[in-house]
A and B are shown apart, each in its own frame.
Chain A
Amino acid sequence: MLKSRRNEILVAMVLIAPFVAVYGWLFIYPTIQMVRLSFTNAPLIGAGDWIGIDNYVRLFTDRIFKTAVWNTLYFVILTVIPGTAVALVIALMVSRLRGWLQAIVLAAFFLPFILPVTVVYLIWWWVFDPQFGIAQYIIEPIVGQPVSVWRRPDWFLPMAALVTVWWTNGFSILLFLAGLRNISSEIYEAAALDGASRWQRFRRITWPLIWPVTALCLTIQLILQLKIFDQVYLFSLGGRTNTTMVLVQYIYEQAFVHNKGGYGATIAVALFVIVVAVSVLQYQALRARGAR
């Protein structure tokens, strides 16, 4: 019996070894190192001196860091709730359909989600091209002139948010569709017998029953969009980035462009703290809402 117990432990060690090795080396170790690095003035590669909390003091007076925080929050506001609302509307519309029509319509809404960000970027770079882009046929009549959207600070983040919703919405749509499928059709039939209108059925049946899925989508989207980098970086290529800077982009700028590894790590710690704080807050808020 003792032998088989020792054998079990041995087998377990062999099975977990690869994961634990990679996880320890490339996840836990760098997480600890990130915090340590944030107290030094190290360049990206090479040793630096311990400078205490200087980096953190600097962070609080850094105007670009403040811009990056605001832009990230602005981007979250522009994407999370509108994106989830759009996904719910699309899911409601798709769930009414049946058979091949539903399959095709769903594929049309979902396909952007599986594309690489660089493809999404190239598509919309072309669509918004100030001279030849088809979006200018909509923008010009409204604004009066073609707009170079990726060079205009006031247009940049809202349009990046639009692209992001277009790109990532397939994920939430799938979750909503699964949730809608779980609502028993008998409830709707009973409501229809009682003469409930479309809106009443949505307000009194669908909305409360779909709320857990809505909460899940909001949580996932919120955490995801706080970590925004790819689209914003790509669309800002060749322009002035300081006005449209987001947090992860600022880590990249400081560490990889300005060769300030220590300060880059400090911004990374700030991102880490924001993500943890927001997750905890949101978890509490959603639980409160769910308990009501």
Chain B
Amino acid sequence: MSATQRTEVHAGVGQNRLIRYLDISGLALTLITVVAAVIWAFPLYWLVITTFKPEFEVVRPYIELWPEHFTFEAYLHIIANTKIVTWYINSIITSVAITVGVVAMGAGCGYAISQLRFPGRTLLWWLILASFMVPVQALIVNHFVIMSGVKLVNTLLGIILPQLIVPVVVIVYKQFFDSVPRDFREAAVIDGANEFQLLFRIYLPMNWGVTTALAIITFIGAWNAFLWPFLVTTTEAVMPVSVGITQVQDAFGIYYARLLAGAVMTGLPVAVVYLIFQRRVTQAIMLTAGVKG
């Protein structure tokens, strides 16, 4: 409801004093909202601004909202003295592999369950739905046993594999493929298209938005993953950046500017992805929460 509409509605009631009162309280609410947002985001600002201060400014006994001596020293130091570049490459490789794997397997499986008849279809569907009951965190011990059995501890593949189980992606794809009109399918079949052509020429292209949304949220999730990569990596050379930066602290003690520069570099890719694809991220969150939209 726009401001003019609101005025009309209240003017209809004919209580002029009430209008003025409501507008003032509306303005006050807006102001409170903005102040709350500023307070909420302040730790993020404080994070970023601290990284541009020299260490002696960081520990000054008063609040300094802007650095007196603006410097990139913390970033240069962390790039030169830690394995952060390696961690970055590890994160990119594992996150991209997980994203491609999860989306490809989800689309294929979702398509089969939605469009094809095969023995075990109902059982598979129920197993996927039931998987919500099992907390993946409860499986860490056995995942580690399996990974060490196939000698994948401390490898990138070992980080990737257990993160490939994302049943919700199958569910989302099935729902969207279900709602593609049958006419498209029948027309294509008459033209001689086989199942793979149907999937890649009709069903996937018609749902590119869903694929993009799921890919983005899977990528963010994989980049941010902590528990499993933390368990399966013990040497710095194979750590992803989200695990790696916890090692920086041990190496330096508390030099906050450097420590936080590592944090900014870790969070930057996902923050940028979010700011570019805001709408898709929102859509993906709705989808994975079970709200189709």
- Does B124 touch A at the CB level, under 8 Å? yes
Q: Is the contact region of chain A dominated by helix, strand, or loop, or is it mixed?
A: helix
7 cross-chain pairs, A with B, having the tightest CB-CB distances, nearest first: A30-B142, A12-B118, A19-B109, A108-B41, A116-B224, A268-B138, A15-B108
Query: A134 CA to B50 CA in the complex, in Å?
Result: 12
A44→B12 CA distance, assembly (Å): 74
Chain B's closest residue to A33 (CB) is B142
Instruction: Flag B26-67 by CB within 8 Å of A: 1 or 0 each.
Output: 100110111011101101101100100000001101010000
Interface residues of B in 103-139 (CB under 8 A from A): 104-106, 108-109, 111-113, 116-119, 121, 124, 127-128, 131-135, 137-139
B286 within 8 A of partner (CB): yes
Compute how far the CA of A18 lies from the CA of B108 in the bound complex, rounded to whole angstroms. 9
Q: How many cross-chain pairs have Cβ atoms below 8 Å apart between A and B?
A: 274
Give the distance in Å from the alpha carbon of A273 to the alpha carbon of B251 in the complex.
40
Provide the bound-state CA to CA distance between A28 and B40, in Å.
Answer: 41
Taking CB atoms, residues of chain A closer than 8 Å to B113 are: 16
Interface positions of B from 227 to 252, Cβ below 8 Å from A: 227, 231, 242-243, 245-246
Query: Is B271 at the interface (CB under 8 A from chain A)?
Result: yes
A74 lies within 8 A of chain B by Cβ = no
B275 at the interface (CB under 8 A from A): yes
Chain A, range 165-222, C-beta contacts under 8 Å to B: 166, 171, 174-175, 178, 185, 188-189, 192-193, 195, 198, 216, 220
From A30, A107, A126, A234, contact of B146 by CB (8 A): A30
Choose, from A61-69, A153-161, A249-257, A284-292, the stretch at the interface. A249-257
Inter-chain contact A118/B196, CB cutoff 8 Å: no
Query: When the two chains form the complex, which single residue of A124, A131, A265 contacts B142, counting CB atoms closer than 8 Å?
Result: A265
Q: Given that A115-B270, A178-B293 are contacting pairs, would A272 and B134 also be in contact in the complex, using a CB cutoff of 8 Å?
A: yes
A226 to B133 CA separation, bound complex (whole angstroms): 12
Contact digits for A1-31, partner B, Cβ 8 Å, 1 yes 0 no: 0000000110111011011101101111111
Given A29-B142, A123-B263, 9 other A-B residues pairs in contact with their CB atoms under 8 A:
A12-B118, A33-B142, A34-B141, A109-B40, A166-B43, A193-B9, A193-B12, A198-B25, A261-B145
Show 15 residue pairs from A and B whose CB-CB distance is below 8 angstroms, ordered by the A residue.
Answer: A15-B108, A15-B195, A16-B109, A29-B146, A33-B142, A112-B44, A115-B267, A122-B259, A122-B260, A174-B285, A192-B10, A229-B137, A256-B231, A271-B137, A272-B135
Q: A12-B116, A15-B108, A20-B109 are in contact. Are A252 and B140 (CB under 8 A)?
A: yes
B274 touches A15 (CB 8 A): no
Q: Using C-beta atoms within 8 Å of the partner chain, give the interface range for chain A.
A: 35 or more
Residue contact A123 to B293, C-beta cutoff 8 Å: no
Residues on B with C-beta less than 8 A from A229 are: 137, 227
Docked pose: A129 CA to B78 CA in angstroms: 21
Question: A8-B117, A193-B12 known; A119 and B263 CB under 8 Å?
Answer: yes
Min CB–CB distance B172 → chain A (angstroms): 14
Q: Is A264's CB under 8 angstroms from B266's CB?
A: no
A81: CB under 8 A from chain B? no
Contact A93 B33 (CB under 8 A): yes
CB of A94 within 8 A of CB of B111, answer no
Q: In the complex where A96-B30, A123-B47 touch, is A178 in contact with B227 (Cβ < 8 A)?
A: no
Q: Is B190 close to A, CB under 8 A? A: no
**Cβ < 8 Å to B, chain A residues 110-157:** 110-112, 114-119, 121-124, 126-127, 129, 131-132, 134, 137
Docked-complex contact A37 and B142, CB < 8 angstroms? yes
Chain B at the A interface: mostly helix, strand, loop or mixed? helix
- In the assembly, what is the distance between CA of A229 and CA of B227, in Å? 8
A90 to B41, CA, bound (A): 13
Q: Is the CB of B139 within 8 A of A111?
A: no
Pick from A31, A118, A198, A265: contact of B246, CB below 8 A.
A118
Does B278 lie at the interface of the complex (its beta carbon under 8 Å from any beta carbon of A)?
Answer: yes
Is A279 engaged at the interface, CB distance under 8 Å to the other chain? Answer: yes
User: Is B142 a contact partner of A16 (Cβ separation < 8 A)?
Assistant: no
**CB < 8 Å neighbour of A26 from B162, B196, B256:** B162
Cross-chain contact A132 with B59 (CB below 8 angstroms): yes
B29 touching A93, Cβ below 8 Å: yes
Convert A28-45 into 0s and 1s, putting 1 for each residue whose CB lies closer than 8 angstroms to a CB of B: 111101100100000011
Contact assessment for B105 and A18 in the assembled complex, using a CB-CB cutoff below 8 Å:
yes
Is A281's CB within 8 Å of the partner chain B? no
* Interface check B207, CB cutoff 8 A: no
Contact B224 A122 (CB under 8 A): no
A269 CB within 8 Å of chain B: yes
Contacts of A16 on B, CB cut-off 8 Å?
108-109, 112-113, 118, 124
Q: Do A251 and B140 have beta carbons less than 8 Å apart?
A: yes
Q: Contact at A96–B108, with CB atoms within 8 Å?
A: no
Nearest-Cβ distance from residue A291 to partner chain B, whole angstroms: 20
B281 at the interface (CB under 8 A from A): yes
Query: Does B144 lie within 8 Å of A23, measured CB to CB?
Result: no
Given the known interface contacts A123-B263, A251-B138, A256-B231, the answer about A109 and B286 at a Cβ–Cβ threshold of 8 Å is no
Contacts of B267 in A (CB 8 A): 115-116, 119
B16, chain A: closest CB distance, angstroms: 14
Provide the residues of chain B in CB contact with A51, threshold 8 Å.
none
